[in-house]
Amino acid sequence: MPAPGRVHRFLGIAAGSSSLPWFSSVPYRAVRIQQRGRSLSSSPQTTPEFHKRLLSTAAGKLCQQQTGMASYRVPIAPQSVDAPLTQHATFLVLAAKSPTDPSTQQIIRSALAGMSSRAKNVAMRDLDARFSCTVGIGSGSNLWDHLFSSCSLALSKTNKPEELRPFRPIHGNTHAAPATRGDLLFHIRAERRDLCFEFERQLLDSLGKGDDRVVEVVDETVGFRYFDARDLLGFVDGTANPVGAALPESVLVMESDSNAVSAAVGGSYVVVQKYVHDMPRWNALSTEQQEAVIGRTKLTNEELDDVTAAAQPKAHKTLTTIVDEQTGEEHDILRDNMPFGSPGTGQFGTYFIGYSRRLWVVEKMLERMFVGVPAGMHDRILDYSTALTGTTFFAPSASFLASLDSSN
Ligand code: HEM
């Protein structure tokens, strides 16, 4: 994914760990240097020969095209929040047992710093499996502050992302979005279930074994791809996601954002909610009624016209469209929802995950869904889907995570 900065296209591709075959075309050390967030100019690798090699890669060429620069400062590498849709995903939410305990903090910091090498260990086992993992840090128990206040990172780096705050519960007239616990989120994705499993096992081991583990598992949801990226309600989910240049625009905090602290640049706010569906009630609706709820046709996934009459309920896709009142600009988010459940136990669900450059955009979507527009006219998807959880995180850049290495 392009990173937020002048040379973002170069970095974005090079740092996309989801495209590991791509990695191999970039000199390994260049990637390492980016991940550590150091400047090329202070590296022993900055010989003319090294530059020539770098520029001979597709990434280097792209960088040069974009910037006209033959030498560059190393930009901030985002995590692979834009990893492609995969067959499998695990959503793991953890809570620190003693967030104020310095040794707990140190163990968590070093697990975070080791994210990229642990991901590489697992991803290398099958490069076609497009393995990736994104980690988010929550603010529910002030973990962000605890983790970074006691270590030797430069203060400017440790400032909390401006909008990072606990999930705001919403109580609409009919439906509620509860806030639930969570200090760390791991969004693990791959084409193979075993890779997700193996990564999660190694990750949890790194956080301590048995009773010595410094975290507890709050929720572990295993999601799967259902036909052509459909949710269990039967609709294709994720179509309106931003693509191309609009993707980093919508998802990554930019240096130019007002009040963006350096620890936030290249990162994203992440909101997760676990929904369970009442399938018998949903299936009792006609296809046309279901389509009116979602705002798209079921079979062909075509968008239906927005309902404009105030007295008529608006479709889900309309309520989740956020237009800036001043600029008229539409603010997108990146969703990678996954179905989960088990017919045997009668559980049918959608795990919602939304990445955004601006937390307020996701909060606004939720308000429009649960309170309704006008108030009282809620999103009818909620008449068939109940939110069981709601937690907010911030997924900092990969550069930020790697820099924790030297701060323990
Ligand atoms: C039960 C949970 C949910 C289900 C099953 C669901 C399903 C869908 C489906 C089928 C679409 C239409 C296709 C597409 O563009 O992806 C859609 C659109 C969308 N949903 Fe959801 N969704 C859920 C919850 C949420 C939540 C909680 C949010 C935000 C907080 C959200 C935000 C959006 C957005 C932004 C769009 C695109 C709107 C547009 O067309 O611009 N969804 N959703």
Which atom of ligand 1 is nearest to 275's Cα?
1
The confidence score (pLDDT) of residue 55 equals 39
Nearest to 103 by CA among 408, 353, 390: 408
Contacts of 349 (CB under 8 A, 6+ apart): 221, 232, 274, 275, 276, 277, 339, 340, 341
Nearest to 403 by CA among 99, 35, 46, 26: 35
Tell me how far the alpha carbon of residue 365 lies from the centroid of ligand 1, in angstroms: 10
One-letter amino acid at 322 equals I
Nearest to 127 by CA among 83, 191, 197, 78: 191
The confidence score (pLDDT) of residue 405 equals 67
The residue ranges of the chain whose pLDDT is under 70 are: 1-75, 150-158, 405-408
10 Å Cβ neighbour count for 127? Answer: 14
With a 6 A CB cut-off, is 237 part of the ligand 1 pocket?
A: yes
The confidence score (pLDDT) of residue 248 equals 95
Q: Which of 269, 299, 337, 385 to mutate to test the pocket of ligand 1 (most atoms within 8 A of CB)?
A: 337
Q: Are 334 and 342 in contact (CB under 8 A)?
A: no
Q: Are 271 and 390 in contact (CB under 8 A)?
A: yes
Torsion sign (Cα): 51, 56, 62, 66: positive
Torsion sign (Cα): 165, 166, 170, 175: positive
- Rounded to the nearest 5°, which phi and psi values hold at 136? -120, 145
Nearest to 310 by CA among 365, 374, 372: 374
Torsion sign (Cα): 282, 285, 286, 290: negative
* Structure-token pair, residue 168: 């705001």
Q: Are 82 and 1 in contact (CB under 8 A)?
A: yes
Nearest to 336 by CA among 277, 244, 270: 270
User: Going along 144-243, which residue ranges are E strands?
Assistant: 170-171, 176-177, 184-190, 215-224
Specify the pTM.
0.85
DSSP, res 305: P
Q: Which of 167, 303, 352 to mutate to test the pocket of ligand 1 (most atoms within 8 A of CB)?
A: 352
One-letter amino acid at 408 equals N
Contacts of 49 (CB under 8 A, 6+ apart): none
With a 6 A CB cut-off, is 82 part of the ligand 1 pocket?
A: no
Rounded CA separation 342/353 (Å): 20
With a 6 A CB cut-off, is 359 part of the ligand 1 pocket?
A: no
Contacts of 79 (CB under 8 A, 6+ apart): 134, 135, 267, 395, 396, 397, 398, 401
With a 6 A CB cut-off, is 76 part of the ligand 1 pocket?
A: no
Q: Whose CA is nearest to atom 4 of ligand 1?
A: 350
